[in-house]
Amino acid sequence: MNLPSPTLLMSAMLHFAPNPLQVACYLLLTSGVLNPPLRCCGDFVVYSLPGTKSAIVLEGKTKIHAGQLVEFTYPGFASVTMSLEDAYIVKAPSRQEEFRRLFQHATKSGRVEDYVEAARQALQRGMLKEFYECCSAAYQANPNHERLQRLVQARKNIKKPLSDHTRVETQLRDATNLKNMKVATSHHYVMLHDTSDIKGGRKRQTRAEARLELLELVYESYFMKFAFDGVLLEPPAEPMMVLLFADEVTYLRYATMLDPKLKMASGFWSPNDNISVFFDQGTTEEMKILTEVSKSLQKTKTQLRGTVVSKDIAHLANSFDLLIKIAKEESDTEVVSHEATHQLAGNTGLMPRGKLGLTWAHEGLASYFETPAGAGWGGVGAVNATRLSSYRRVARDSERASLELLVSDMLFDVARGQAEVVDAYGNAWALTHFLMENHFEKLVDYYRRCSEVEEDADGKILRSTLVDIFKEVFGDMRLLERDFHGYMATLKPDIERMRDAMK
């Protein structure tokens, strides 16, 4: 079965007279909400939206009832039902099931290396609880193992008490002049916000509580990843500062006051005042439209109850409602995981904080830790389908494919329009992914050597200096470029692995 791509689906839809539902589906497709999640959370479902010419790919767990209905569950949300006639199902193990298989194998063998491999998979998939479970079992098997001792020390480091949160709150209020915003704190963060105190979502949390929980997940995963691969980073001595706005309008008012260019940013970290700034991604104009369409579908479902089309309308309304809820939550996850990594890199001595001329390294690292929308908390170093597509476009373009063009930051400078900027980000993600997985120690050495480079009078680093450092650390760039493209050819997001399995 050949699955239609979002681009083809959009093209097909434009041949029909648009109605509110088709407009909503178009917005979902263009926003990436209907792209398949990039973690392995279970079965794939190719679902044809009743009454439309559109199909979407979902990933979760499925059950068949009475040979007619499919019960679909996305992790953390209530299940929805759809007609089996509208769904093509590809059975697959969930990420929990895949982890348990690896963990059980390690338990049977008793080998530390098997536990370590299971731990690696858990960390990559954002399963911190399972990651620690593996590490604990491996440590009991061999407490003298160098990697495990390093992980234990990293865990101790990030659990150390930090300096007074009240003082940091005062510093944050003084820096932003936002005296009336509420404060919320966690072990590693102080956050000012104006969001509601009403609890909701899949964990019955306030918006502030959910945001701090996500920030803490990114924080721990960041330190565990580096410790796992050989580097103990020193955590900041005090909590990090964050702003969370309840809506996009208020956020944009604040962001553009700092810099008009930030009107295009979905969130940002400012190295000058060391503050990360976010807003509720569910308040964008696009999301508001989709939410209104979802409400309209729910109203129509009630009005048509008992008619011949009631089942189709109910399935569509419930599926659409689920997609909107997922989209709101996962859009936040994507932005937070990216910008929080910028802040962490700038506060752990890993990257040159505030220095110009190292865009590829900064954005490549943030994109490596970034969880794409639609993937929940996806962990560290997962294959990002959006970034991979961008890399592939650059790799096919002889004018942009040069590795030297990327590491000199010229690829970002010569970008013509937003699409090519996105491609530059994708290429930076790809090179970082390759170096993280194959030349980790050299990459960390490169970051630190760049941190030591003196800036010129304009606060910039010479492009030739960046290239020279890269060559000194990694050697022959032609050989590295060959290995880089060879490695990237092996990477596949889950949707491509699914297509291969169906051939």
pLDDT at 268: 93
Torsion of Cα atoms, 172 then 177 then 181 then 187, to 10°: 0
Tokens found for residue 473: 């650390």
CATH class, domain 162-302+326-351, is alpha beta
Q: Evaluate if residue 266 carries a pLDDT over 60.
A: yes
pLDDT at 157: 96
pLDDT at 216: 94
pLDDT at 53: 64
Task: Report the DSSP beta bridge partners of residue 269.
Answer: 276
The answer to which of 135-139, 225-229, 321-325, 385-389 has the lowest mean pLDDT is 321-325
Q: What is the DSSP string of 31-51?
A: HTTTSPPSS-BSEEEEEEPTT
List the chain domain ranges.
95-144, 162-302+326-351, 383-503
pLDDT at 202: 67
Place of tokens 């880089």: 484
- Annotate 145-182 with three-state secondary structure: CHHHHHHHHHHHHHCCCCCCHHHHHHHHHHHHCCCCCE
Helices 112-124 and 128-141: crossing angle in degrees, nearest 10, is: 170
The predicted model gives 258-286 an average pLDDT of 91
Mean of pLDDT over the chain: 84
Buried b (16+ CB within 10 A) or exposed e, 304-316: beeeeeebbbbbb
pLDDT in tens, 180-208: 999 999 999 999 999 999 987 667 889 99
The answer to which of 28-37, 104-113, 449-458 has the lowest mean pLDDT is 28-37
- Percent of the chain at pLDDT exceeding 70: 85
pLDDT in tens, 318-336: 888 888 887 787 788 888 9
pLDDT in tens, 345-354: 999 988 877 6
The predicted model gives 341-347 an average pLDDT of 93
Tokens found for residue 481: 């470029």
Prediction pTM value: 0.84
Q: Evaluate if residue 249 carries a pLDDT over 90.
A: yes
Q: Evaluate if residue 210 carries a pLDDT over 80.
A: yes
pLDDT in tens, 32-81: 444 433 344 567 787 776 666 667 777 778 899 888 888 888 877 788 88
CA 459 vs. chain centroid, Å, equals: 31
Q: Which of 200-214, 240-254, 288-302, 339-353 has the highest mean pLDDT?
A: 240-254
How would you list the strands of the sheet with 69-73, edge to edge? 80-83, 69-73, 55-65, 43-48, 87-90
Higher pLDDT, 35 or 413: 413
The predicted model gives 84-108 an average pLDDT of 86
Higher pLDDT, 33 or 389: 389
pLDDT at 18: 37
Tokens found for residue 298: 């729910």
